[in-house]
């Protein structure tokens, strides 16, 4: 039985299970089934607002789907955390990305890198995002100043550069 089947069954048996929704969402996102992943990350965040990694993943997915208003809304709770919390800086970075402020996003991610984070895969995703942002010297073709390049968020999910 594959991971998606296992987590789907867990959610079917216990619909109020934020960890199962989060893990199912992660599996679906890596399969590029973004719409399904959004549903499960949303359930995880609604059922357990303190599950910060799910909130980050949901915001990244909204960015991937080019819905910056949704991404910024989801990230807002992270910014409210104390500034000695790595998730605060991730929230600042995601909000900056939503607003097309690449330099601010890079600064926040660099601060976050020097802090402890309780989720190694998420830390790796943020490092990949920082690398991706640092490598962008010019906006994507057709993008104007202040516009978000959604390929950055997609590259985190797909595990490759687009």
**Of 72, 50, 57, which Cα lies nearest the Cα of 124?**
57
State residue 118's pLDDT score: 81
Structure confidence by residue, pLDDT tens digits, 67-78: 999 999 999 999
The helix (run of H) or strand (run of E) holding residue 39 is: helix 34-47
Could you give the CA distance from residue 162 to residue 151 in angstroms, rounded to a whole number?
6
- Whether 41 contacts 54, CB under 8 Å: yes
| Averaged confidence pLDDT in the chain | 85
Domain ranges in the chain are 1-48, 67-162
Could you give the CA distance from residue 56 to residue 126 in angstroms, rounded to a whole number?
10
- Whether 117 contacts 123, CB under 8 Å: yes
- Measured between its terminal Cα atoms, the distance across the chain in Å is 31
Res. 125: pLDDT tops 90: no
State residue 120's pLDDT score: 87
Instruction: Say which range, 3-12, 100-109, 133-142, has the weakest mean pLDDT.
Output: 133-142
Res. 97: pLDDT tops 50: yes
DSSP secondary-structure letter at 160? S
State residue 136's pLDDT score: 58
Could you give the CA distance from residue 158 to residue 160 in angstroms, rounded to a whole number?
5
Structure confidence by residue, pLDDT tens digits, 31-67: 999 999 999 999 999 999 999 999 999 999 999 899 9
């Amino acid at each position: 039985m594959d991971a998606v089947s296992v987590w789907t069954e867990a959610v079917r048996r216990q619909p109020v299970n934020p960890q199962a929704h989060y893990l199912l969402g992660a599996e679906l996102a890596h399969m590029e089934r973004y719409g399904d992943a959004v549903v499960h990350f949303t359930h995880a965040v609604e059922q357990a607002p303190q599950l910060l990694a799910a909130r980050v993943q949901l915001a990244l997915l909204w960015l991937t789907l080019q819905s910056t208003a949704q991404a910024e809304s989801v990230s807002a709770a992270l910014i409210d955390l104390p500034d000695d919390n790595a998730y605060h800086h991730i929230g600042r970075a995601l909000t900056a990305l939503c607003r097309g402020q690449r330099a601010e996003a890079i600064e926040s991610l660099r601060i976050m890198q020097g802090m402890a984070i309780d989720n190694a895969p998420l830390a790796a995703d943020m490092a990949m995002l920082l690398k991706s942002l640092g490598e962008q010297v010019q906006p994507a073709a057709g993008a104007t100043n202040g516009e978000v390049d959604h390929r950055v968020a997609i590259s985190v999910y797909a595990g490759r550069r687009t």
